[in-house]
């Protein structure tokens, strides 16, 4: 037995337990004699408080293994048993019986919600031996968190969506665990990019796997209004018809029933939904839908672009302040009435045009609407500049840049806003944008997102702590006292959820499906934020984290998660290469597909040139719904295009504004002689270079087996 997290009292308890287990295992009638080889330490993320590998071969599930829920007064406990059986069904092919009994049965997965209250709401203990698995918690929520650990003790193939051979052995281990912070969130910006119901539920399930317990939905922004408000239908008939890069939608919003379905789905994963109605800026979708929110009482034009900080409620005269206040009351009453969780988030970010008194008028109207519904105000940290109700929760999105000004003569306004909020007794959720913003590029190969906080590779997503995220850079003088920190949140913004992100998108073909964007940007970084929120600071160790996480790639592949195989992670199994999403070079005979002279001009014919790694030789592959790709040049932001949509052999391949038409779509297929052929969806002809000389021109040609049509995708 080896204690990975030495802790005095626990070691003694575990030594006693191990003696008991050692004497039990060999005498169990059903346990076949097996060598007592100790399995490698299970790689659980987030790292449990204490985890001890036991000897023995672990517990192997059969088609008859009961999921045995111990009777309790918690009405949700049986549901955790059903959830677990459902989780195990696709890969095992078993329909495990879920039973409720007053005493545990043997050779079972026992879920016992009657543990001591000292376990807390989310704590649990888990013991897995040859005789069975027991998860003990004080109520259903702790059982659910323990079940997420349990699934990680099974082989990676347990995440598969189709039946796999097994065996399904739970690693032998003793775990005792609890959450560091009670708020561990992820924000999804469904306003800039609308997530259909199934894609949002898929993301909820993925986040739950890492013990995320809060889903913050950024429901409104300039580019779209995503929640039906019965009394103001124009918000969705008009305000939901755009996204960043999209116009003309008719159902890019959640009906009241759909929103409630999301809330219920999240609740079934023990996740609280926090709805955000952003203001007083980020509000163009409402200004376009409700004329009297504008100073001239005329609706603003709809906005589907990519900028921030472009709009403001009219708050410059009493009549309009009253219009805004009435509007907010209607909206917030409706949203609050459909939200069982305690919070409504009021935004408050990026309002360059608001005067302090206009800003204060917004905060006053919005926060009284929230408190009159018995809810607690959340907001971005800027909200702290105004009067906020006591115990409001502010969300810090500042960075090391802001921290570097603390205590200097040039302390910036973000620092001031935090000081103001702390003085008003606010609590804080930490989302430092240089660590926890999932829309930042990992590195230069990231196909979408943005880089205003630089690159955020996995190491940076992991390398921070809530207690110092509002401290000076040397870690001292935290603006927010440790006991006012409610937790952490990762933020999945979607305003640049397209390839060629550093320029405005010109075509919807540049956008992957929302789930593809979400998974690429969140995996592997979301588990890093989840671990910071859950695990004790004493366990924080990047080498150990990345080793554990490296075994999760196989889980994500089994589940079909489109993760980014970050090069700084020691993946235990080679990342699956079924998808070419990302930035690549295409070479043949050592020469790369290239935009001559890094030209930005439309209609420039592509050539091949010695590979030098410049951006004019890099292409972002964006998967289309038919499995083909568009190829967006990183230097020009333009798309590889069969000139004039020609169907003829010999037609030039040029760069052109991305348009989504089939003469810009390419089927990429492994070729018999090595490399890939790249075939125009429009013409069926192949991307072909004329020769291996520098400057050889690229055209489309019929397949001829030549190496000049076989591209190595690097």
In angstroms, the CA 419 to CA 458 distance is 30
Pairwise CA distance, residues 655 & 452, whole Å: 27
Our CB check for ligand TNX shows the closer of 414 and 620 to be: 414
- H/E stretch holding 174: strand 173-177
> Is the bond into 524 cis (omega within 30 degrees of 0)?
yes
User: Of the two residues 402 and 701, which places its CB atom closer to ligand TNX in the complex?
Assistant: 402
Look at residues 255, 425, 231, 229 and name the one whose alpha carbon lies nearest to residue 336: 229
In the complex, least distance from residue 493 CB atom to ligand TNX, rounded to whole angstroms: 4
Q: How far is the CB of 452 from ligand TNX (least distance, A)?
A: 6
Instruction: Name the packing angle between helices 197-208 and 256-268 (round to 10°).
Output: 20
Q: How far, in Å, CA of 589 to CA of 676, rounded?
A: 13
Do the Cβ atoms of 293 and 319 come closer than 8 Å? no
Q: Among residues 433 and 551, whose Cβ is nearest to ligand TNX?
A: 433
DSSP string, 348-396: ----TT--HHHHHHHHHHHHHHHHHTT-EEEEEGGGGGS---TT-EEEE
- State which residue, 333 or 350, has the beta carbon closest to ligand TNX: 350
Least distance to ligand TNX, CB of residue 480, Å: 17
- Residues engaged in binding ligand TNX (CB under 6 A): 308, 349-350, 380, 397, 433, 437, 439, 450, 493, 495
Check the CA dihedral 623-625-626-632 and report its sign. negative
**SS3 sequence, 623-637?**
ECCCCCEEEEECCCC
Of 78 and 219, which CB lies nearer to ligand TNX in the complex structure?
219
Nearest CB to ligand TNX, comparing residues 376 and 433? 433
User: Facing residues of 110 across strands?
Assistant: 68, 134
Distance CA 537, CA 320 (A): 49
**How many CA atoms does the CB half-sphere of 268 hold within 13 Å?**
16
CB of 449 to ligand TNX, least distance (A): 8
- Active-site option among 258, 261, 350, 411: 350
C-alpha–C-alpha distance, residues 558 and 266, integer Å: 23
Neighbour-count burial for 257-267, b at 16+ CB within 10 Å, e otherwise: ebbeebbebbb
Q: How far is the CB of 192 from ligand TNX (least distance, A)?
A: 7
* 55 alpha carbon, distance to own chain's centre: 36
Per DSSP, the residues of 529-569 read HHHHHHS-GGG--HHHHHHHHHTHHHHHHHHT------TTS
Tokens encoding 712: 């190595």
Alpha-carbon torsion (333, 339, 344, 350), positive or negative: negative
Which residue's CB is nearer to ligand TNX, number 189 or number 594? 189
DSSP string of 446-495? --SSB-BTB---HHHHHS--GGGTTS-TTS-S-SS-GGGEEEEEEEE--T
Q: Hey, is 258 helix, strand or coil?
A: helix
Residue with smaller CB distance to ligand TNX, 382 or 689: 382
Tokens linked to 681? 């969806």
Q: What is the smallest separation between the CB atom of 380 and ligand TNX, expressed in angstroms?
A: 4
Closer residue to ligand TNX, CB minimum distance, 439 or 641: 439
> Does 258 qualify as catalytic in the annotation?
no
B/e letters for 691-711, b = 16+ CB within 10 Å, e = fewer, are eeeeebebbbbeeeeeebbbb
User: What's the min distance (Å) between Cβ of 285 and ligand TNX?
Assistant: 13
Rounded to the nearest whole angstrom, what is the least distance from the CB of residue 194 to ligand TNX in the complex? 15
- Across 592-623, b (16+ Cβ under 10 Å) vs e yields bbbbeeebeeeebebbbbebeeeebbbbbbbb
Contact 69, 100 (CB under 8 A): yes
Within its chain, how far is the Cα of 169 from the centroid? 29
- Could you tell me the smallest distance in angstroms from the CB atom of residue 510 to ligand TNX? 17
Q: Which CB, 153 or 394, lies closer to ligand TNX?
A: 394
Q: Which is nearer to ligand TNX, 171 or 187 (CB)?
A: 187
How many other C-beta atoms can be found within 10 angstroms of the C-beta atom of residue 487? Answer: 23
- Return d(Cα 15, Cα 635) in angstroms, integer: 61
Closest CB 393 distance from ligand TNX, rounded Å: 14
Which residue lies nearer to ligand TNX by CB, 450 or 667? 450
Give the shortest CB-384-to-ligand TNX separation in angstroms.
13
364 and 355 Cβ atoms separated by less than 8 Å: no
Q: Please, what is the minimum distance in Å from the beta carbon of residue 633 to ligand TNX?
A: 24
93: closest CA among 66, 68, 61, 63?
63
Q: Which residues are catalytic?
A: 350
């Amino acid at each position: 037995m080896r204690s990975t997290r030495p802790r005095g009292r626990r070691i003694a308890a575990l030594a006693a337990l191990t003696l008991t287990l050692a004497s039990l295992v060999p005498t169990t009638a059903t346990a076949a004699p097996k060598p007592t080889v100790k399995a490698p330490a299970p790689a659980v993320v987030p790292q449990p408080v204490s985890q001890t590998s036991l000897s023995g071969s672990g517990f192997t599930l059969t088609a008859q293994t009961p999921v045995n829920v111990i009777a309790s007064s918690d009405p949700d406990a049986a549901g955790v048993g059903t959830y677990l059986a459902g989780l195990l069904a696709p890969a095992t092919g078993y329909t495990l019986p879920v039973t409720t009994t007053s005493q545990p049965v043997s050779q079972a997965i026992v879920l016992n919600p009657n543990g001591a209250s000292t376990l807390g709401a989310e704590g649990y203990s888990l013991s897995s031996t040859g005789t069975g698995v027991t998860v003990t918690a004080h109520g259903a929520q702790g059982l659910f968190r323990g079940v997420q650990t349990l699934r990680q003790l099974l082989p990676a193939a347990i995440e598969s969506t189709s039946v796999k051979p097994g065996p399904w052995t739970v690693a032998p281990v003793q775990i005792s665990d609890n959450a560091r912070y009670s708020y561990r969130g992820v924000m999804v910006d469904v306003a800039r990019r609308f997530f259909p119901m199934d894609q949002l539920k898929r993301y909820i399930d993925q986040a739950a796997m890492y013990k995320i317990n809060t889903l913050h939905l950024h429901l409104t922004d300039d580019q779209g209004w995503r929640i039906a408000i019965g009394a103001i239908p124009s918000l969705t008939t008009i305000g939901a018809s755009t996204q960043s890069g999209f116009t003309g939608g008719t159902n890019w919003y959640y009906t009241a029933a759909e929103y409630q379905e999301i809330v219920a789905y999240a609740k079934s994963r023990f996740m609280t939904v926090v709805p955000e109605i952003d203001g007083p800026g980020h509000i163009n979708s409402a200004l376009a839908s409700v004329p009297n929110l504008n100073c001239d009482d005329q609706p603003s034009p709809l906005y589907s672009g990519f900028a921030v900080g472009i709009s403001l409620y009219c708050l410059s005269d009493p009549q309009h302040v009253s219009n805004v206040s009435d509007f907010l009351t209607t909206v917030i009453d409706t949203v609050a009435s459909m939200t069982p969780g305690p919070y409504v988030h009021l935004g408050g970010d990026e309002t360059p045009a608001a005067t302090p008194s206009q800003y204060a008028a917004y905060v006053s109207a919005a926060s009284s609407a929230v408190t009159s519904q018995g809810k607690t105000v959340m907001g971005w940290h800027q909200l702290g500049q105004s009067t906020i109700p006591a115990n409001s929760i502010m969300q810090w999105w500042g960075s090391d840049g802001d921290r570097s000004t603390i205590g200097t003569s040039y302390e910036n306004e973000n620092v001031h806003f935090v000081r103001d909020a702390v003085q008003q007794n606010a609590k804080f959720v930490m989302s430092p944008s240089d660590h926890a913003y999932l829309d930042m590029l990992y590195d230069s190969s990231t196909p979408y997102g943005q880089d205003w906080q630089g690159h955020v590779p996995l190491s940076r997503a992991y390398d921070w702590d809530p207690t110092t995220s509002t401290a000076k850079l040397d870690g001292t003088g935290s603006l927010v006292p440790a006991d006012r920190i409610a937790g952490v949140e990762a933020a999945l913004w979607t305003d640049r959820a397209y390839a060629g992100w550093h320029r405005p998108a010109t075509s919807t073909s540049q956008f992957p499906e929302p789930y593809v964007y979400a998974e690429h940007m969140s995996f592997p970084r979301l588990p890093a934020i989840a671990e910071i929120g859950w695990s004790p600071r004493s366990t924080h160790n990047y080498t150990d984290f990345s080793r554990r996480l490296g075994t999760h790639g196989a889980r994500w592949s089994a589940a079909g998660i489109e993760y980014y195989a970050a090069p700084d992670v020691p993946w235990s199994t080679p990342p699956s290469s079924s998808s070419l999403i990302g930035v690549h070079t295409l070479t043949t005979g050592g020469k790369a597909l290239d935009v001559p002279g890094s030209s930005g001009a439309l209609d420039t014919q592509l050539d091949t040139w010695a590979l030098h790694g410049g951006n004019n030789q890099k292409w972002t592959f964006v998967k289309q719904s038919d499995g083909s790709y568009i190829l967006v040049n990183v230097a020009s932001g333009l798309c590889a295009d069969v000139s004039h949509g020609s169907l003829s052999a010999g037609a030039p391949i040029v760069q052109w504004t991305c348009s989504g038409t089939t003469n810009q779509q390419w089927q990429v297929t492994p070729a018999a002689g090595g490399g890939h052929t790249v075939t125009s969806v429009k013409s069926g002809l192949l991307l072909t270079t004329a020769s291996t000389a520098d400057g050889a021109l690229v055209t489309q040609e019929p397949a001829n087996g030549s190496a000049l049509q076989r591209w190595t995708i690097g």
